[in-house]
Structure 1
Amino acid sequence: MSNIQGLSNTFANGGVSYWLRDSGRPSVRSALTGPIEVDVAIVGAGLTGLWTAYYLKQSDPTLTIAVLEQEFVGFGASGRNGGWMSAKPAGLFRHYAREGGHASAIALQREMFGAVDESVRVANAEGFGEHVDKDGLIHVATNPAQLTRMRSNLKSLRQNGWGDDDLFELSPAELSDRVRVRGALGAYWTPHCARVHPMHYVQGIAAAAERAGVRIYEGTTVTAISPHVVTTDKGEVGARNIVQAVEGYTSSLPGQRRRLLPMNSSMIVTERLSDSELDSVGWNGAELLGDMAHSFAYVQRTADGRIALGGRGVPYNFASSFDRDGKTAQKAIGQLATRLRELFPGLGRTRLHHSWSGVLGVPRDWSAAVTYDPAAGIATAGGYVGHGLSGTNLAARTVRDLILGEQTALTALPWVNHRARNWEMEPLRWIGASTLYSAYRFADRREYETANPRTHIAARIADAVSGR
């Protein structure tokens, strides 16, 4: 295991996630027992589906709502993610500003800021706020090219609605007061991010929805979605409105194999750090940490004193396949372990406790969207590309307004009824994804080796091809 001295005696690979292992398997909910009729049928018991059910019930308690889930609450990305409740929607100004105008894109950004605060508010109000800490997010540059990108990113953000209260540039010395990252040349901090324990968080929302009267059916496989009807292995569900909220699992539905690419994201988490290890890192707050590399790493110091680090690893498997249990390829574990050691050399003897993987749904233009067809009664939401902990909250409130027929500031946002083209057919999809991420990893290596302040040409070409 490159640069890390092995695995703990209790190391686990897969099993959904460390978050599930830490929180314990939730109580099993009953499966659907036959055909039913409801006002709203929601496919997927992840954050999008559960938030939508919660807000619909808050707005209209008389609605009958059923959430249909093949496995259990939080089985997918909602229970496997890195615990970043961040507020920067992917592709914001490249796509949404072009479609809806600059002011419209800025409005979406402001709503994403608000989604973080709203999510924290509900968590506190509904009794699971102890698993949410809003200490913000730090992005750090660890070579000259990353520093150039960081400053360019700061300039772009300031031009596009981020004010003095949203961004704070940190010198290496100021960064060191918060967290010690080897080779840091600069950083910036934004308050618009919260650390969460993903499984406690998603289970908290599920419990809040159930208290409001929402029915959640686990162990129920949806095989098709058509106007006003959801077909399952346990019977048909008739509904005035249907919400498709399956994100990375969209390819499992008939006719939707190419709509979202199921991208693998993998994580490792260490054993609990000793006092000396914690001191070497100097990370005492709940800030989240990310780098400016093309193959981006996302990191958190967990509430129980571990370091959890994630990245793309092996980002895409041929024909959209993935391990449902979340087992991580040894190659990916080694890559993540190496990055952990590069950022925090004081953890060179720290053992790994758990590794796991999950899939997120990536649109062809890397831009999340909410759609609604009132004639068919079908709404969809997803494509958050790493910003789902906050994006799901905003998407759910938007879906609520669309289903209730209300014209609000949310229904006017530029991601409403935004549609990206489908991904290419295989083998082009696999060749393209594999080549792009090879290019990004190559660019990262060369940027460290050469110390050139300009982004490597391989990454610039990959960005142009991928539409990022």
Structure 2
Amino acid sequence: MTAALARRNGELGFWLASAADDRPRFPTFSGRDAFDLAIVGGGFTGLWAAYFAKKLDPSLSVAVFEAERLGYGASGRNGGWVSALVPGNRARFAKASPQGRAASIALQREFIDSVDSLLGILALEGINADQAKGGSLSAAHTEAGMSRLLAKRQSDLLYGLTPEEVSVLTRAEFQAEIAIDGVHGGLFYKDVARINPAELVFGLARVVSGMGVSIFEGSRVESAVDRRLVLEAGEAEADRTFICTEGYSGPLLGQRRIIPINSSMIVTQPLDDDVWQEIGWLGSQCLNDSAHTFIYAQRTADDRIAIGGRGAPYRFASGTGGEGGTAESTVQQLLGKLRTFFPGVHFEADHAWSGVLGVSRDWNGGVSWDPVRGIGSSVGYAGHGVTSAFVGGRTLAELALGYDSPRTRLPWVGYSARDWEPEPIRWVGVHAMYRLFGIADAWEERRGSSRTSLLASFGSRLAGLHE
């Protein structure tokens, strides 16, 4: 049997599959009931919203409704980065706020502070999610890529990071951290931690269940209107409702407000100590690169490399991909990245999977709360979901319970992008953008230019990614 045939594919991914025996199980909702707060979505955002709502008011009756099982979506399938990356374009947030750049600086500082806040709650509540704060490394493989990283650092400094929080690494300094072949240099971000996302979902679910939150799995909410939730097997009334469904938000928030963009991952077989010594990856740093078709990776607690990238970016009519089966071509692309980084090492994929993240038309996330309708949402994290869910869930709880906090005044609160185009324009546009990025990467590597390809610049402006 070949390695490709022996490999596990889909099954919601490595994190959830490897923790399946440890996952808590919850009943399916049926009949009728009433709650002070109903939360749709059993991922990071919904569970953090439940946690903070109960912290603010322990007397609240809170229910979480998950259509499949906890962590089914991006929360159980992601790359496991707790980072300070803001979900969107900070310049656009600044432009939309009366406070201008100061508002985006406040947003960025909240995300930086939230990395340690999240880790502190895990320690306080006894949640073991293999968390380790080792920072992250961004690698440049071309002169153009290094130029982009330097420009990104300037933008980071403009919007609130300090020079100590994002530092420039020479080629030698980078290879002293991780010995990537052919790297030109890069950046080091201090405030990033690695986690096992499935263990975080399960641990957080146990904590909120212990706080008195009712959790229901296999309980799909078909509509949430006029403080009434209609489910497949019953109805629930709620004074307040939070929609926390990220890439699966179309049926409840509108198919053109948030679309599901696909991201794929593989995890290698465990690597021996001599391999880790050879590649020099001896700590818990996370890793990404400056390519337009970028990757993200971590060294797992059980000594594997988990690495992800876009793969096929978007399914027609906002398909979400079920349990995450992944094309062999995508697996080979990700393995190819590893073999380019570390050419002396033989890598095999042990498990491959895909999932979807929620993206607005301008790639900016947003938290909304309508006190008249009693309904709110936090969505559009665009791949930066672990910390965004923490901040977003906390903000929703504060807004709905009438608390004024630094978070309720952040510029992503009340922010709304225009709708995505209808199909087939949407499908053509997304695929064209990623095709431009792929061509631009190949052009930069072939030409060795110090300037970003005009094709990539056009694609970035089309997507609203430039700051």
TM-score normalised over the length of structure 1: 0.96
Greater than 4 Å deviation, 4+ residue runs? none
Query: Are 1:418 and 2:415 an aligned pair?
Result: yes
CA distance in 2, matches of 1:91, 1:354: 30
Please, which of 384, 387, 392 is the counterpart of residue 390 of structure 1? 387
Residue 193 of structure 2 is matched in structure 1 by 194
* TM-superposed deviation, 1:227: 2.5
Query: Are 1:16 and 2:7 an aligned pair?
Result: no
**Uncovered stretches (5+) of structure 2, i.e. residues with no partner:** none
CA contact (8 A) 1:120 1:129 kept: no
* TM-superposed deviation, 1:152: 0.8
CA contact (8 A) 2:365 2:379 kept: yes
Where 1:433 maps in the other structure, the secondary structure is helix
Aligned-partner residue type, residue 40 of structure 1: L
Where 1:237 maps in the other structure, the secondary structure is strand
Residue 231 of structure 2 is matched in structure 1 by 232
Please, which of 430, 446, 462 is the counterpart of residue 465 of structure 1? 462
Q: Deviations over 1:255-276 (max 9, x none)?
A: 6111111000000110001233
CA distance in 2, matches of 1:21, 1:60: 35
Query: Are 1:82 and 2:79 an aligned pair?
Result: yes
Report matched runs for 1:201-350 at 5 Å. 201-253=200-252, 256-347=254-345, 349-350=346-347
CA distance in 2, matches of 1:416, 1:130: 29
Please, which of 81, 93, 96 is the counterpart of residue 96 of structure 1? 93
CA contact (8 A) 1:92 1:105 kept: no
CA contact (8 A) 1:248 1:362 kept: yes
CA distance in 2, matches of 1:412, 1:117: 21
CA contact (8 A) 2:89 2:464 kept: no
Where 2:344 maps in the other structure, the secondary structure is helix
Q: 1:130 to 1:464 in 2, by over 3 A?
A: closer
Where 2:146 maps in the other structure, the secondary structure is helix
Query: Are 1:111 and 2:107 an aligned pair?
Result: no
Query: Are 1:67 and 2:68 an aligned pair?
Result: no
CA distance in 2, matches of 1:340, 1:260: 32
Q: Deviations over 1:210-262 (max 9, x none)?
A: 11110100011111111311111121110000000000001233x61111110
Query: Are 1:174 and 2:173 an aligned pair?
Result: yes
Residue 446 of structure 2 is matched in structure 1 by 449
CA contact (8 A) 2:24 2:206 kept: no
* TM-superposed deviation, 1:331: 2.1
Residue 127 of structure 2 is matched in structure 1 by 128
Identity across matched positions, percent = 39
Number of residue pairs matched by the alignment: 462
CA contact (8 A) 1:124 1:130 kept: no
CA distance in 2, matches of 1:354, 1:302: 13
Where 2:177 maps in the other structure, the secondary structure is coil
CA contact (8 A) 1:281 1:344 kept: yes
Which stretch shifts more, 128-137 or 259-268?
A: 128-137
Q: Deviations over 1:43-77 (max 9, x none)?
A: 00000000000010011110000000011111110
Q: Deviations over 1:92-147 (max 9, x none)?
A: 42211101110011000000011111110111111114521111111111111101
* TM-superposed deviation, 1:410: 1.0
CA distance in 1, matches of 2:364, 2:18: 32
* TM-superposed deviation, 1:178: 1.4
Aligned-partner residue type, residue 381 of structure 1: S
Aligned-partner residue type, residue 336 of structure 1: L
**Uncovered stretches (5+) of structure 1, i.e. residues with no partner:** none
